[in-house]
Amino acid sequence: MIHAWIVGARGLLGAAVSRAVDRRDGARWAVVWVAGAAVTSSGRGQLDAELDEFGVVLDALADVVRDRGASSAGAVFYSSSAGGVYGGAVGAPFDEDTTPAPLSDYGRFKLAAERRLDRFSRESGVSVVAGRIANLYGPGQKLGKMQGLVSHLAKAQLSPTPAAIFVSLETTRDYIYIDDCAELVLDVVERAERETVERGRIEVVKVLASGDAVTISQLLGHFRLLAKGHPHVMLGSSPAASLQGLDLRLRSVVWSDLDRRARTPLPAGIRATMDDMLRQLQQGPL
């Protein structure tokens, strides 16, 4: 399939993309940008620094592409955030035709990065895809980033410390299993490269989601059944909750044939996440 440079290969999605690349082969190249430590509550300083870093890498890549005349030989994929971009949008489910309406600086940062990606494409001639990704979950989540409700709930089941929930239990999210998302990322990159051969340079926005959103109440119900007991959670409030949209159901209308695939059922993905937490606990404190 491709020779891939994965920026952020040690992260949750980056590691999964690396595993998926190892299962494919081919001669084309791609840059898959899945790096970044920013989250919804990150300050402007961190967000600006990450945006600058992204721009520096794109500028360096543009120079290499121009020197080697390789603009039509590959593609760049950037992992954007559906939650950040559509946080304040109305009329769910949201898709690529939905007007972005970020609630936070994080969402505005993601949109700025998408614009920087498009500028790189126009300047270098390289095709690009901005993947607006739903809520990722699965084994390997780094809890220090305070991201990933599924992982935090899984950790709480094995810990004396409950998971804190600061938003309404009717908050609706789309959860996509990490390996499913990684395979979809590579399918999207392959499609971008094929269409570039046929049509020339392209700029694409693609929503990457499971298409099956659940409320937090429903998510807790899955944990209740799997753990055979009440989820270890506490409810609270936080000013950061205002940065979270209530209903973030998602769908994709771009290259939607790529979405017709077998996916990991949510209960199975939760079980795999819980098993991963147990393995970590056996190796040392979480």
Phi/psi at 193 (5° precision): -70, -40
At residue 22, the pLDDT reads 83
How many CA atoms lie less than 13 Å away from 158 in the CB half-sphere? Answer: 19
At residue 196, the pLDDT reads 92
pLDDT tens by residue, 99-144? 999 999 999 999 999 999 999 999 999 999 999 999 999 998 766 5
pLDDT tens by residue, 170-194? 999 999 999 999 999 999 999 999 9
| Ranges of the chain with pLDDT below 70 | 1-2, 26-27, 70-72, 142-147, 240, 284-286
**Domains of the chain, CATH where assigned:** 2-283 (3.40.50.720)
At residue 42, the pLDDT reads 82
Residues whose CB falls within 8 Å of the CB of residue 207, separated by 6 or more in sequence, listed in order: 82, 94, 95, 96, 131, 132, 134, 250, 251, 252, 254
- How far is the C-alpha of 230 from the C-alpha of 227, rounded, in Å? 8
Residues whose CB falls within 8 Å of the CB of residue 74, separated by 6 or more in sequence, listed in order: 2, 28, 29, 30, 31, 126, 127, 193
Which tokens is 92 given?
């769910």
Please give the model's pTM, rounded to 2 decimal places.
0.93
